[in-house]
Amino acid sequence: MAHPDWVLKHKQKNTEIRNIRGRYYLYKITSKWDPSKKRTKKVTLGMLGVITEQDGFIPKGVTKKGRPPKFKAPMILSTKEYGATFLLQTLAPDIIDALKECFPNDWENLLVLSLNRLLYQAPLKRCEFLFEESFLSETFKKVDLRKNTLTALIQDIGSDRQPIVKFLKTFIEGTEHIIFDATSIISNASCIEAAQKGYSSQKGYDSYVNLFYMFNTDKKEPNYYRIFPGNIQGTSALKNCLQESGIKEMIAIGDKGFCSKNNLQLLEESSLQYILPLKRDIYQNAFDGHFIYQGRVIFYTSLPETTGKKVIIFTDKSLALEEEKTYLKRIEDQFEGYTMEGYQEKQIKFGTISMITNCLHLSEEHIYSSYKTRMEIETVFDTYKNLLEADRTYMHSDKSLEAWIFINHLATMFYYRVFNLLKTHDLLKKISPADLFARTMRINKIKINDQWVTSEINLQTKKLLHKLNLPVT
């Protein structure tokens, strides 16, 4: 049903009029890409005010008595997102300072692009619109995200990796423990040299770009990445990554794919200590001792030291029972490759993991718990591929790919600031970073009579921000 003309004249760009029980309300709206439905969907940002025939538009929070006389010029009303972008900037002043130092001419653009990636999973073509809809456009007046300008910016950032490496090293310094691993990103762009057909966990026929990542387990955040061709294994890329990152005198933790004679020598030549699982499990009947890890009893056996290294076999009998049950169930369900002969061969290895390390000064319990932190880099990859929807790239050159990966890396760093904040306050079981983003994105700046004021804040959101010691004003 069409709205009356006296209502429609108050409709503005990116707003919607709604008739609720006979009263007319003006709402702020935007759009967001829905990857599951392959189309954009409408997102309501909040109610701006009520419209009456007698008084016209009355902004939310303003009474009729507070309305200006009718003969005065109409109020100019503008609403822009504020809360989420303000929150992220508040939590990461060191990231912003490092961007200023390493990219003095482009740091504002990189900041805005990375925040849009995190909050909206936005492709480059949508970033100009999102910037205009955010209070960032009032804070960073020099930012220009028009198509031609943005294309030139991306090419410029991706053409010189030195400032990127300088930025990454800022967050490597002082690290004591790092986890490293590699993952694959789909890219079918024929003009990208790094996109090659190679092994991937997805086992598809696409071309891939490989991504080597390091994670700082002390600060709980990613601190280094490097792109390498999809037909090169991560173990082969380790040397260049160690040389470029300059990491020394810390404990490096990887998965069994990196455990080779050459890599062990490489890590030692780089003055690094390491904890790596062996490719083949070794089983021992006798145990040297045990400890409790997350409520489970872990037995261990230390083999004799050789040339400054030692091998430790850890056995989790609770895990062994679970693995044994799973294997026998798959035999019963006739899964391909699961046989009683295979069970008899594997049964003594269920629940065991063997590690090689040159950390001779650390206890077996410390080595085991340090290795278990390796799962945190899987969380990084999950965030990178699912939350940021960066499991594939549509960049058309190696330069633009480098810049795009760096922007996603920045977004991941911002994400972990929120993740760690919630974890510190023991709130992760109740609220996720995405939940906090959704709440704070409803906090707007509203321009009334040429003055920007903060919109009303939901009571539960206000309580949460107070608990996190994050006032948004």
User: How many Å apart are CA 200 and CA 381, to the nearest integer?
Assistant: 14
pLDDT band at residue 54, thresholds of 50, 70 and 90? Answer: confident
pLDDT of residue 391: 62
On the question of pLDDT at 161 being above 90, the answer is yes
Q: How confident is the model at residue 73 (pLDDT cuts 50, 70, 90)?
A: very low
Mean pLDDT of all residues in 421-444 = 92
User: Looking at residues 364-368, what average pLDDT do you find?
Assistant: 93
CA distance readout (Å), 389 to 134, 185, 384, 386, 408: 22, 11, 7, 5, 10
Could you tell me how many helices (H) and strands (E) the chain has, helices first? 17, 16
pLDDT at site 248: 83
**The pLDDT of residue 57:** 87
Question: Rounded to an integer, what distance in angstroms lies between the CA atom of residue 43 and that of residue 30?
Answer: 5
**Pair 463, 425: CB distance under 8 Å:** no
* Mean pLDDT, rounded, of the chain: 86
What confidence tens digit (pLDDT) does each residue in 2-11 have? Answer: 889 898 888 8
Mean pLDDT to the nearest integer, 373-387: 77
Asked whether the predicted pLDDT for residue 218 surpasses 80, the reply is yes
Q: Which residues of 341-360 are buried (b: 16+ CB within 10 A; e: fewer)?
A: eeeeeeeebbbbbbbbbbbe
Give pLDDT, residue 190.
63
Residue 441, pLDDT > 70, answer yes
pLDDT of residue 297: 93
